[in-house]
Amino acid sequence: MFPRRALPALAAFVVAALVSACGGTRPEAPPEAPVTPLPPARVDPVVPPVRIGLALGGGAAKGFAHIGVIKMLEANGFKPDVVAGTSAGSVVGALYASGMDPFQLQEKAVALDEASIRDVRLFAGGLVQGLKLQDYVNEQVGKRPIERMPRPFAAVATRLETGERTVFVRGNAGQAVRASSSVPGVFEPVTIGSWQYVDGGVVSPVPVDAARELGADFVIAVDISSKARGKRPDGMLGIVNQSIAIMGQRLGEQELARADVVIRPNVLDYGSADFTRRNQAILEGEKAALAALPQIRAQLEQLQAQRLAAAREQQARLAAQREAALVPPPKPACEDEGSRWNPLRRKDAACGASN
């Protein structure tokens, strides 16, 4: 037996042994595997949508085909952002730019009375004055000037004194359309300011360039102009229209070549003054646009892909420039004292050369 006075010392020894056993060195946990951060997700740059331009050519009563083209384009999701028109194309273009949808355009076309836009002046050699056409257009667009149209619009006319192409993008919409539609020999020239203007088809039968000038990236041209095909045109208006088409045919071909897609409704046999076939003309416009849809879709996708590729390349170039700016330039070898005269290392060659 232990002496009574030895018990406290024994108790202290047991407690110390227990504490020592509990506080022993624990086995170390295995080191955690290093976490490799994922590379930042690649975010494509934002590319603005392609701006579609519509170039509506001249062709008198055959211009009803433009309505069918617009109907089919919008029905398939292609809504033009800007529109330019020559002659009959300027009439349809102005109404469309004012905010009318294709079905409203068709309603206007069906209800149109030819007498409401034709004012023959006997004392001017039987020429059409064109004031009725001007008033009709201004009434349909709510008397708004061109620059206040919901959709950017341009009417193309020819300056009679110089033969220059003139693009109206501001001012009286009806007057600009009247100037663009004033077929020489049929309409009186229109005086605006100090100049006189006649039909835009003389210099720009299908206004592709005007649509580009409005900011279009992709131009759909609608060509309804008369062609010299060995057939005799009907009536005075038909003769004049074909004469203008012959004069501007070479210019028209050059300008049409600058369009992305050209739609040609089958209305060449329609009379220039035949308002009775307006419904057939609209239908021919729909059919021609429907046939062109695969080409329009493919070319738009290609253009958008090219723009995205260019934006990605620019993004990568800017990122490389930013990274290069964050990396400090390397120190010259001579600034490292250990590499200059360290007795345990040979003298740095570059420092030796500089010193």
Q: Cβ distance 88 to 63 under 8 Å? A: yes
Q: Catalogue the active-site residues.
A: 87, 199
Q: What angle do CA 219, 222, 226 make, to 5 degrees?
A: 140
Token digits for 317? Answer: 């170039």
β-partners of residue 85 are: 56, 155
Contacts of 247 (CB under 8 A, 6+ apart): 202
- Residues across the chain: 355
Longest Cα–Cα distance of the chain, Å, equals 152
Closest CA to 204 of 158, 146, 139, 271: 158
Token digits for 283? Answer: 């239908």
